C-alpha cells in the first residue's frame, strides 16, 4: 500500500472520503420503522479503481451493526470503527478496474456529531429526515463521502403505509403490501453523497405551477395543517423557476420537490432535486421567500455545479445568495445594488478575518461568507456589465453541468468575459480578508 493515500485530500475533513476510487452508482434498499427508529439497509456500490492498484479501501459509515460485506461477490477482510469501514479485498483490485461492493447494516440511526451540531439522519416526532451538509451522509448509508465523488442513485425505502417517503429524483414505483409501502426513487444525475435527501412523514402532496405548460415538474410535500400558509408562501416558486432558467440556463435536473417538515428547522437545506424547510419557514406572509429562492438556486450552484472540496463553498453560497438578490430585483423588491449596499454596510461593521476562497472549517458556514460571496458576484457583475455577466453566469452553469469546479476554474472562466483583467478585483474579494469598497453599479 506504499504511496497510496488512505483518505481524500479535503483539508477541512481529511478523515472523510477515499480518493483512491470513485463510485458511479449506489443502489440502496432501506427498511425503516419510525417508532423504534430502526433502520436496516443494503447498499450495492458500483465503483472504479483509480490510477493505482487497490489492496484496501475505505467507506464512510456510522456505528451500525455490519451484517455482511462483499467485494465482487467475495467476502473480504474488513474492520469498522471510528466511522470508517475499511475493506481489504481477497485479491488486489487492478488500476482502472470496475468493482462492486455490497454492505448490509442495521441499527438506530442518529446524526453524526460535528462542529455545527448533529448532521444527517434526524429522528422527528413522527418520521425522519436527512440533512447531511457537509459530512452527515454516513449517518445512514455507506458512502465515499467527498463532494467531488458524484454518482447516480437508486433508493428503495420500505416503511409503514401511513407515512409518505420523499427523496430526490423520480418516483419509479410505490408498492403496498400488508401494512407497509415501498417507495423507489431514481436520481440519474451525478450526485454528491451529502446531497442525497430523504424525508419520511405525514405529508399531503401538491403540485406547483401548471405541468401542462411544459415547465419543470414541481411538487410539494406538506403537513395538511400547513397547506393554507404554504400555498401563499410558495405561490411564486414557479415564477422563480422561470426566472432562474432565463438567467442561469435550463434547470439541470428532471424535477424539483420541496418538503416542509412538521417541526422547526434552523435553516432550510438543499438536496439534489429537493429542498427541506421547517414549519417555521411557512408563515403565510412570504416571510421566507428569499430562502425559497436560495434553495432553488442551489440546484444549479452546488448541486449540478459542485465544488471539488469544501474550501470552495463560496461558489455554492455566494451564488445562491446573489440569486436571492436577483429574484428581489426582478420581482419588484429591492434591487441587487440596494441589497449589496446593505450587505456591504453590515460586513464593514464586522471582523475582517474571513478569506472567501479558503475560509477554514470554522467559518465555512459563517453568515459573512454568504454575504461576502454575494457581494463578490455583484462586484463581477459591475465589472463585466449585465450582458457579459449573465452570459458568463449561464455558461458557467452550462459548461460545468453535473461537473466539479474550484475557485481557480471560476476565476479563469469569468476572465474570458472581461474586457479588462479581473485579477485585482478577484484577488481583493476572494483572497484578501479586508473588505474591498463596493464598486459602482453596472450601467
> Which residue ranges make up the annotated binding site?
294, 298, 317
Distance between CA atoms of residues 323 and 336, nearest Å: 9
Distance between CA atoms of residues 300 and 3, nearest Å: 37
E strands, 281-321, are 306-307
* Binding region for Zn(2+): 294, 298, 317
- What does the angle CA 54 – CA 58 – CA 63 come to, to the nearest 5 degrees? 160
Strand partners of residue 220: 206, 258
Distance between CA atoms of residues 124 and 189, nearest Å: 29
Distance between CA atoms of residues 414 and 396, nearest Å: 8
Contact present, 83 and 60 (Cβ < 8 Å): yes
In the numeric block, which cell numbers belong to residue 5? 493515500
In the numeric block, which cell numbers belong to residue 433? 480578508
> Can you state the angle between helices 336-348 and 367-384, rounded to 10 degrees?
130
Using CA atoms, how far residue 253 sits from 186, 193, 441, in Å, is 12, 16, 33
Amino acid at each position: 500500500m506504499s504511496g497510496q493515500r488512505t483518505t481524500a485530500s479535503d483539508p477541512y475533513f481529511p478523515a472523510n472520503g477515499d480518493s483512491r476510487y470513485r463510485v458511479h452508482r449506489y443502489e440502496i434498499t432501506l427498511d425503516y420503522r419510525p417508532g423504534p427508529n430502526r433502520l436496516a439497509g443494503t447498499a450495492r456500490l458500483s465503483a472504479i479503481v483509480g490510477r493505482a492498484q487497490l489492496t484496501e479501501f475505505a467507506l464512510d459509515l456510522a456505528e451500525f451493526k455490519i451484517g455482511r460485506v462483499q467485494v465482487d461477490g467475495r467476502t473480504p477482510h474488513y474492520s469498522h470503527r471510528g466511522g470508517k469501514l475499511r475493506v481489504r479485498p481477497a485479491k488486489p483490485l487492478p488500476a482502472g478496474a470496475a468493482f462492486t461492493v455490497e454492505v448490509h447494516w442495521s441499527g438506530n440511526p442518529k446524526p453524526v456529531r460535528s462542529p455545527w451540531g448533529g448532521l444527517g439522519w434526524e429522528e422527528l416526532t413522527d418520521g425522519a429526515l436527512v440533512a447531511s451538509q457537509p459530512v452527515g451522509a454516513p449517518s445512514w448509508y455507506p458512502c465515499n463521502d467527498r463532494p467531488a465523488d458524484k454518482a447516480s442513485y437508486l433508493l428503495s425505502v420500505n416503511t409503514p403505509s401511513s407515512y409518505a417517503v420523499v427523496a430526490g429524483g423520480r418516483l419509479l414505483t410505490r408498492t403496498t403490501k400488508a401494512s407497509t409501502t415501498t417507495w423507489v426513487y431514481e436520481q440519474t444525475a451525478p450526485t454528491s453523497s451529502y446531497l442525497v435527501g430523504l424525508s419520511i412523514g405525514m405529508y399531503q402532496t401538491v403540485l406547483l405551477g401548471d405541468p401542462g405548460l411544459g415547465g419543470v415538474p414541481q411538487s410539494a410535500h406538506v403537513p395538511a395543517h400547513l397547506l393554507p400558509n404554504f400555498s401563499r408562501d410558495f405561490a411564486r416558486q414557479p415564477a422563480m423557476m422561470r426566472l432562474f432558467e432565463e438567467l442561469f440556463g435550463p434547470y439541470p435536473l428532471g424535477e424539483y420537490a420541496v418538503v416542509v417538515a412538521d417541526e422547526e428547522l434552523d435553516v432550510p437545506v438543499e438536496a439534489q432535486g429537493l429542498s427541506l424547510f421547517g414549519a417555521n419557514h411557512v408563515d403565510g406572509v412570504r416571510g421566507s421567500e428569499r430562502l425559497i429562492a436560495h434553495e432553488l438556486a442551489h440546484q444549479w450552484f452546488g448541486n449540478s455545479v459542485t465544488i471539488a472540496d469544501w474550501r470552495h463553498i463560496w461558489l455554492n453560497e455566494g451564488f445562491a445568495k446573489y440569486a436571492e438578490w436577483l429574484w428581489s430585483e426582478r420581482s419588484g423588491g429591492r434591487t441587487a445594488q440596494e441589497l449589496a449596499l446593505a450587505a456591504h454596510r453590515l460586513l464593514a461593521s464586522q471582523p475582517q478575518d474571513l478569506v472567501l476562497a479558503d475560509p477554514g472549517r470554522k467559518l465555512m458556514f459563517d453568515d459573512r461568507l454568504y454575504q461576502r460571496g454575494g457581494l463578490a458576484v455583484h462586484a463581477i457583475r459591475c465589472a463585466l456589465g449585465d450582458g457579459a455577466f449573465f452570459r458568463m453566469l449561464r455558461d458557467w452553469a452550462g459548461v460545468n453541468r453535473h461537473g466539479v469546479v474550484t475557485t481557480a476554474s471560476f476565476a479563469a472562466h469569468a476572465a474570458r468575459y472581461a474586457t479588462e483583467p479581473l485579477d485585482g478585483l478577484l484577488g481583493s474579494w476572494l483572497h484578501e480578508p479586508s473588505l474591498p469598497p463596493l464598486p459602482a453599479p453596472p450601467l
